[in-house]
Amino acid sequence: MLVSQRVTGARARAPQLAGLLEAWYRHGRTTSSYSALSEPSRVRALVYGNHGDPAKVVHAGVTGTGLTTCDMSAEDRKSGPCVPHRTLRAARRLKNLELTAVEGSDVHVRMLAAPINPSDINMIQGNYGLLPKLPAVGGNEGVGQVIAVGSSVSALKPGDWVIPANAGLGTWRTEAVFSEEALIGIPKDIPLQSAATLGVNPCTAYRMLVDFEQLQPGDSVIQNASNSGVGQAVIQIASALRLKTINVVRD
């Protein structure tokens, strides 16, 4: 599921990326096989092998123990960005690969939803403070459900919902095997779209409220762009901290 929140800003930076992610994910959800770990499992992901314009460098692929970029012909690559119909056709030509076996502290996760955040765009462009090793799967935020856990995993169990503990995990995929320390368990009664967008904007809002001033209950905070994702998080977190807010929006 593509979380539509904040996609507008991403479209301005990469007009085809939002459509590509939505087309890929809908396709992946209808064709991916979530079988037992001992059987081959087709895992779709949006992968970039170099930094640049997301509409040109992000391709659909199939991942397993390694990352595989879009298997496009030289003729296809010369013709322009990897648009949805071409990407999905290319992805279907890739071989099926098995997921990494779940052992020790490993956790097998099926992704339920992932958004497009401006930080995702910046990371793909190479303009972000944290850059994963290439090739990489896009996406900093998302929510997934635990399918299986390794023998030494103690804090998570099958059925739990999880979000990334840090940026750069690569959430634009149908499923993956992560280490337990890379995940944070969350309550399943959180709305899906809210859970998928917990990792960036709410953290930014919290740090804005606690890192720069020693605010006390009853203090007031004024902010502009208060109808943005960060702005709405500021209002909610400020309320929990018993702070008052003055919120400015553009007409």
- Asked whether 129 and 149 are in contact (CB, 8 A), the reply is no
Q: Which of 34, 48, 128, 206 is catalytic?
A: 128
- Asked whether 28 and 47 are in contact (CB, 8 A), the reply is no
Largest distance between two CA atoms of the chain: 63
Residue indicated by tokens 């804090």: 155
User: What's the rounded Cα separation, in Å, for the pair 156 and 64?
Assistant: 22
User: What's the rounded Cα separation, in Å, for the pair 173 and 25?
Assistant: 8
- Asked whether 156 and 178 are in contact (CB, 8 A), the reply is no
For the stretch 218-224, contacts whose Cβ atoms lie closer than 8 Å and that sit 24 or more positions apart, written own/partner, are 218/242, 218/243, 218/244, 219/243, 219/244, 220/244, 220/245, 220/246, 221/245, 221/246, 222/246, 222/247, 222/248, 223/247, 223/248, 224/248, 224/249
Positive or negative, the CA dihedral 169, 171, 174, 175 is positive
Q: Is 25 a catalytic residue?
A: no
User: What's the rounded Cα separation, in Å, for the pair 154 and 19?
Assistant: 38
Give the bridge partners for 85, in sequence order: none
User: What's the rounded Cα separation, in Å, for the pair 52 and 123?
Assistant: 9
**Catalytic center residues:** 128
